[in-house]
Amino acid sequence: MSEPGNLRKFRFGAGGEGNKDEGGARKFVKLAQTAEEYGYDTFAVPDHLGNQVGPLAALGALTQATSTIRLATSVLANGWRHPAILAKEATTIDVLSKGRLELGIGAGWMKEEFDKAGIEFESPGVRIRRLDESLTILDGLMRGETVDFEGEFYTIRGLEGSPRPRQGPRPPIAVGGGGPKMLALAAKHADIISVAPGTTPDGKMKLSDMTLGKTAERVDRIREVAGDRFADIELNWTIAVIVITDDREATADMALKALAQGYPPNIAQDTEFTVDDVLSSPYIAIGSFDEIAEQIRNVRRRTSMSYVGVFPTQMDAFAPVIQLLKGE
C-alpha cells in the first residue's frame, strides 16, 4: 500500500463503564471530567448488559457535567434499540451537550448477553442487514427530516426527527468493524470508522489481525468501498495494551511469552508473532512516552488512521503521550 497523503490531525478518545473497578457509577462523572482535564477529545461509553452504566442515561448526565469533551458511544448494540427511539435519544443528547455527540453503533457481538436478556442473537448476515437499515433510518431522523422507510426489519411512516440536533447536518455516526462485510457497511454509512481486529466465534481478538500490515489491508478495504467518500471518513482504532518502559524489546519479548500462556485472555493466539510485530502493531503500545508517540505517528503514516482510543484503565498512563502529539 502506498503511504496516504493529507493526513488528519490526531484525536484522542478515553472511555468509562462506571463499573466497580473504576469506582462505580458515582465516580463515573469524575472519570469523564478527568479525561477532559487530560486533554482527551472524546469520552466514550460502551454498551453491555453486564457491570456498567446505561450508556444513554450516562451521556445525558455528562452533557451537564462536562463542557468541551465530545461524548460518544462505543458502540451501541443495534439489536437492543429501535432506530426511531435511538434517534430521539441521540439528538436530545446532542442538544443538551451543545453539539458534542458522536453516535457509535454496531451489529452487536456478545451472544451471551443477548441470550441472558432473551433477545434473539441473529446470524451475522441478518445482524449486518438490520444495522444497514438502522443506519439509513438514523441518518434521516437525526437530520430532522421526515422519514418514510420500508425494509426487511423496520417500517417508518412519515416520522419527523425531533428534536433537531445542534450539529449540522446531524451528529457524526461511528461504526466499528473487523470483518470485510462490516467494514464495507461502515464505508457506506459512517463518518468515523473504528478499525478493529477480527474476532473468533467466542469474541476474542485475532492476534493475526493485530499486525500493522493486516490493519493497512483493512483500511484498503474501506478505501475501495468508500470511493470518493474516503477523504471524508475519520479512522479510529483502540490500543488494547499500553506498557510504559525504557526497554521496548525486552518488554515485547515478555509480552510474547505472556501471549503464549494465554494472557491477556481476550486475545486469541492464532499466529506466531515476532518482537517486531509487537512493536509495530497499532493495538499494542510499548516504550517510553516518546517512543509510543513515534509509533502512533508511524501507524498514521502507514494507514491514515488518526483517531486513537484507549481503554478506561489506561487513561492515566496514556495522558502524557497526548501532550506530545496534540495539534499534529
Residue scoring higher pLDDT (57 or 261): 57
In a domain, 39, yes or no: yes
What are residue 302's phi and psi, to 5 degrees?
-80, -30
User: What local confidence, expressed as pLDDT, does residue 116 receive?
Assistant: 94
Confidence of residue 26 (pLDDT cuts 50, 70, 90): confident
What are residue 127's phi and psi, to 5 degrees?
-60, -35
In a domain, 261, yes or no: no
In a domain, 5, yes or no: no
Q: Which residue range(s) make up the domain with 314?
A: 11-242+281-325
Mean pLDDT calculated for residue range 28-49: 96
Name the amino acid, one letter, at 16: G
- Please, what is the average pLDDT of the chain? 93
CB 310 within 8 A of CB 239: yes
Helix (H, G, I), strand (E, B) or coil at 93: helix
Mean pLDDT calculated for residue range 79-100: 98
Residue 2 pLDDT > 70, yes or no?
no
User: Which set of grid coordinates corresponds to residue 108?
Assistant: 452487536
Confidence of residue 25 (pLDDT cuts 50, 70, 90): confident
Q: Where are the beta strands (DSSP E) in the chain?
A: 11-15, 42-45, 70-73, 76-77, 101-106, 146-150, 155-160, 173-177, 192-195, 205-206, 234-239, 241-244, 267-268, 284-287, 307-310
DSSP 224-292: HHHGGGGGG-EEEEEESEEEE-S-HHHHHHHHHHHHHTT-STTEE--S---HHHHHH-TTEEEE-HHHH
Pairwise CA distance, residues 15 & 47, whole Å: 12
In a domain, 264, yes or no: no
In a domain, 15, yes or no: yes
169 cis-preceded (ω within 30 degrees of 0)? yes
Helix (H, G, I), strand (E, B) or coil at 15: strand
pLDDT tens readout for residues 220-273: 999 999 999 999 999 999 998 899 999 999 999 998 998 888 887 878 888 889
Q: CA nearest 35: which of 70, 77, 3?
A: 70
pLDDT tens readout for residues 156-211: 999 999 999 999 999 999 998 888 899 999 999 999 999 998 877 777 788 899 99
User: What local confidence, expressed as pLDDT, does residue 85 receive?
Assistant: 98
User: What local confidence, expressed as pLDDT, does residue 200 receive?
Assistant: 78
CB 32 within 8 A of CB 70: no
Confidence of residue 5 (pLDDT cuts 50, 70, 90): low
Q: What is the pTM of this model?
A: 0.93
Number of domains in the chain: 1
User: Which set of grid coordinates corresponds to residue 30?
Assistant: 469524575
In a domain, 127, yes or no: yes
User: What local confidence, expressed as pLDDT, does residue 1 receive?
Assistant: 44
Please, which residues have CB within 8 angstroms of residue 234's CB and are 6 or more apart in sequence?
8, 11, 191, 192, 193, 306, 307
Alpha-carbon dihedral 150, 153, 157, 162, rounded to 10 degrees: -130
Residue 4 pLDDT > 70, yes or no?
no
Question: In this structure, are strands 146-150 and 155-160 parallel, antiparallel, or unpaired?
Answer: antiparallel
CATH number at residue 166: 3.20.20.30
User: What local confidence, expressed as pLDDT, does residue 107 receive?
Assistant: 92
Residue 298 pLDDT > 60, yes or no?
yes
What are residue 305's phi and psi, to 5 degrees?
-70, 135
In a domain, 2, yes or no: no
